[in-house]
Structure 1
Amino acid sequence: MKHLLFFALLNSFFSITAQENCEKFKNGTFKMSDPAINFACTITRNDSIQVEKIDGTNQQSTYRVKWTSPCAYELQMVEGNPDAVAFYKDKILKVNIISTEEDNYTYEARIDGIEFVSTQTIYKVE
């Protein structure tokens, strides 16, 4: 019984620490890249709006952000490339922050009803 209580308290401590670490990623400027597909973008986010600009192009997308927990949020596209807007219409991208470091976080993203899972690391630059 003592061991169970100890592990419950330890788990609570790490959950609180992870949630506090996620808070610093709600607002700011971020960089994300995927060398495997030659993709890089700059993300500017406040609590409720996220704008993604693809590096080296004039393309950008705007998303509505809804934080569902301290370390999870949903993105709904509101503007962007017509093909992307058509694809994301009525779809929600659910993002779960699975780990944090001082200047970055790793997330797992899913879209309900689609066999899609993406895991990436985003770096905070401002």
Structure 2
Amino acid sequence: MPVQLNHTIVAARDPEASARFLAEILGLPEPTRFGPFVIVESANQVSLDFMQTDDIVAQHYAFLITEAEFDEIFGRIRGRGLSYWADPGQTKVGEINHNDGGRGVYFEDPNGHLLEIITRPYGSGSAG
């Protein structure tokens, strides 16, 4: 079997709320519980397993989506009044990027993790 990413643990002050936030924003199935984890599973069976802790070090999680999904997710980001940026340094507030001929945007989850949605993998097209 080729090596595949199966899951990653995401530090959260409130795992239930954080998992619910991610699932709702991305339009994914309702989170499930396994032991101390609240799990959000992506379409390619990679899960983000939220675990309670007060020791949060912000991480970055990027999600490859379709153009139609971008419209839906970006609509939910704006509908919730979330801040968003075109860049990981969070200097281009209120903008999206067009890297590789697609669209991308960054936003934060309730714990300060930087989430990203992109419609084209990096390096797959023209510079934006």
TM-score, shorter chain, exceeding 0.5: no
Higher relative contact order (CA 8 A, sep 6+): 2
Normalising by the residue count of structure 2, what TM-score does the alignment of the two structures yield?
A: 0.26
Question: Which protein has the bigger strand share?
Answer: 1
